Amino acid sequence: MAPRFADGAVVQVEIGHGCTFVPQRGMAVLFINRQSPIPLVKTVVAQPGDRWDVAEDGRVNVNGAEALTAGGRPYRLEAAGVRMLRLYVRDYGGIIPPQTYLLLGAYEGGSLDASRFGLVHRRDVIGRVVEGR
């Protein structure tokens, strides 16, 4: 696994009221979540209108293609994440709803990401990474 950003990496983010970007697939975004006291950086794997599914073996498919980590490895989510995300697939007919995103991290088995807390609404996406070192 090769994470998008190494532990301790310094990243520059665009955040706040002037941050009017539209999250896109592949973009690293900053978002808030009740499970973390600090904002998290994750990758947009699926965006509104995308067709998606999570297979029993943990594979994530978006628009007919297998989703890959930033390091190029296929996701193989752990069983608990598969069960939870398959509820979203079922409830939304396999389509990411408006203003909602599937955000996943660098670890192919899932991390503190959608495999733990589900889809993320746009209002919780507070910024985007514009540069990382």
**What are the sequence ranges of the domains in the chain?**
11-132
Average pLDDT, integer, range 49-65: 98
Q: Cα–Cα distance between 47 and 44 in angstroms, integer?
A: 7
pLDDT band at 73 (very low <50, low <70, confident <90, very high): very high
Average pLDDT, integer, range 95-108: 94
Average pLDDT, integer, range 30-50: 90
Q: Using DSSP bridges, classify how beta strands 11-15 and 125-132 pair: parallel, antiparallel or unpaired.
A: antiparallel
Of 33-47, 66-80, 95-109, least confident by mean pLDDT is: 33-47
Average pLDDT, integer, range 97-122: 91
Kindly report the CA angle at 62 between 15 and 122, in degrees rounded to 5?
25
For 5, residues 6+ apart whose C-beta sits below 8 A from its C-beta are 11, 28, 41, 129, 132
State pTM to two decimals: 0.88
Fold of 11-132: Umud Fragment, subunit A (2.10.109)
Handedness of CA 78, 84, 90, 96 (dihedral sign): negative
CA distances from 108 to 14, 42, 45, 111 (A): 26, 12, 12, 8
For 35, residues 6+ apart whose C-beta sits below 8 A from its C-beta are 112, 116, 117
Reading the block at residue 13, the tokens are 């983010």
